[in-house]
């Protein structure tokens, strides 16, 4: 990947890896790229990229045990989101084509994000209510290639509902018992 300086909107340090700074670049197109120098390397390299800085940070922490994040200085970099990976819930055919799935939670609002090769593909938004986790319709129509994303969101939402002490998952004005969704 060759990125020209004119294509970079911002650069901020987000952490340290083996004594070297890790920086997050945001491109004009909205892609977030983390750059750093892993131990034994002579120059910086791409450590991760994605559609949201919290997802990139989550993947760096999983991949590099010596990574130490710093507090986010910029609101754009977030810092108070909770990211959970749910790619294992996607059908194997989707994973083999480069799809990954994450939830991004902030203040009771949850986005279930489908990415392909680091770029956001589709998203379902959800909110926590008194007794449910309510899922909104996908922001755009799902193609046949990614219909499995819908079922994966249901399973991820059921897991999260139970974790958050909610009994139900709501979708299209219907309530489903979260534990029953996980039973299959």
**Chosen domain end from 49, 76, 103:** 76
The answer to whether residues 16 and 99 belong to one domain is no
* Averaged pLDDT of the chain: 88
CA atoms within 13 A on the CB side of 123: 14
The residue among 134, 150, 139, 171 whose CA lies nearest residue 90 is 150
Phi, psi of 90, rounded to the nearest 5 degrees: -75, 150
Sheet order of strands, 45-50 included: 45-50, 32-36, 20-27, 8-17, 67-69
Are 169 and 98 part of one and the same domain?
Answer: yes
User: What tens digit of pLDDT does each residue of 35-69 get?
Assistant: 999 888 888 988 888 888 888 888 888 889 898 88
Q: Which CATH number does the domain housing residue 169 bear? A: 3.40.630
Q: Are residues 167 and 87 in the same domain?
A: yes
Does pLDDT of 74 surpass 60?
Answer: no
| Full residue range of the structural domain in which residue 57 is found | 5-76
Which of 76, 110, 139 corresponds to the end of one domain? 76
Domain count, the chain: 2
What pLDDT, on a 0 to 100 scale, did the predictor assign at position 84? 92
pTM above 0.85, yes or no: no
- Same domain for 95 and 55: no
Residues 89 and 178 in one domain: yes
Span 100-129, pLDDT tens digits:
999 999 888 999 999 987 778 899 999 999
- Same domain, yes or no, for 65 and 110? no
Strand order from edge to edge, sheet including 174-177 = 82-85, 99-106, 109-116, 119-128, 132-135, 168-171, 174-177
**Last-in-domain residue among 76, 94, 115:** 76
Q: Are residues 91 and 160 in the same domain?
A: yes
- The confidence band for 75, taking pLDDT boundaries of 50, 70 and 90, is very low
Residue 35 near residue 47, CB atoms below 8 Å:
yes
- On whether both 55 and 104 belong to a single domain, the answer is no
């Amino acid at each position: 990947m060759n990125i020209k300086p004119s294509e970079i909107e911002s650069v901020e340090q987000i952490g340290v890896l083996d004594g070297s700074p890790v920086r997050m670049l945001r491109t004009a197109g909205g892609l977030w790229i983390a750059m750093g120098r892993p131990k034994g390397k002579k120059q910086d390299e791409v450590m991760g990229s994605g559609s949201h800085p919290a997802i990139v940070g989550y993947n760096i922490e999983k991949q590099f045990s010596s990574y130490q994040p710093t507090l986010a200085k910029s609101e754009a970099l977030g810092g108070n989101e909770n990211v959970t990976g749910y790619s294992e819930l996607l059908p194997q055919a989707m994973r083999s084509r480069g799809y990954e799935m994450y939830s991004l939670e902030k203040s009771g609002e949850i986005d279930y994000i489908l990415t392909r090769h680091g770029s956001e593909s589709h998203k379902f938004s959800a909110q926590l209510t008194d007794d449910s986790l309510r899922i909104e319709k996908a922001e755009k129509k799902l193609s046949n290639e990614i219909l499995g994303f819908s079922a994966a969101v249901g399973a991820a939402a059921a897991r999260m509902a139970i974790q958050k002490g909610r009994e139900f998952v709501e979708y299209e004005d219907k309530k489903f018992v979260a534990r029953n969704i996980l039973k299959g």
